[in-house]
């Protein structure tokens, strides 16, 4: 991604490259959190169904937040964490902590805490 360009703008550019007409693309406002983004988009989209593009790990909470404010999103998750199709080979590295696993754990914890906070504050 280019320096100084938002992820929303980068995804909009990718959508145009894939043939989506510019008039069908709405980039969400730069909001502090997903709930505020959903509230802001409600004023733009109203009851119009739309495709919500976000990371797969964030999709469950995003869908709940967007639906709670009265929007009608259709999920289009991306940024999947996948392994190669080959068989997993048993080797010594599997028995030691890996930096990538810490990153995955941090992302999961962020989502669990976000879901808990959203429920406690009646956002979902």
Helix (H, G, I), strand (E, B) or coil at 124: coil
| pLDDT tens digits along 69-88 | 999 999 988 877 766 666 66
If one counts the domains in the chain, the total is: 2
Alpha-carbon dihedral sign for residues 30, 61, 78, 42: negative
Which structural domain, as residue segments, surrounds residue 112? 32-81+95-124
Per-residue pLDDT at 120: 92
DSSP state string for 43-73: HHHTT--EEEEEEHHHHHHHHHHHHHTT--E
Q: What is the pTM of this model?
A: 0.69
- Helix, strand, coil shares of the chain, percent, nearest 5, are 50, 10, 40
Judge if 24 and 43 occupy the same domain. Answer: no
């Amino acid at each position: 991604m280019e320096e100084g360009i938002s992820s929303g703008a980068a995804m909009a550019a990718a959508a145009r490259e894939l043939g989506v007409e510019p008039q069908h693309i709405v980039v969400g406002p730069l909001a502090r959190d997903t709930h505020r983004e959903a509230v802001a988009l409600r004023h733009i989209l109203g009851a119009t169904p739309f495709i919500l593009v976000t990371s797969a790990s964030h999709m469950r909470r995003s869908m709940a937040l967007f639906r709670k404010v009265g929007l009608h999103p259709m999920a289009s998750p991306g940024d999947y964490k996948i392994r190669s199709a080959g068989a997993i080979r048993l080797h010594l590295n599997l028995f030691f902590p890996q930096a990538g696993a810490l990153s995955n754990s941090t992302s999961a914890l962020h989502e669990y805490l976000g879901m808990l906070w959203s429920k406690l504050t009646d956002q979902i």
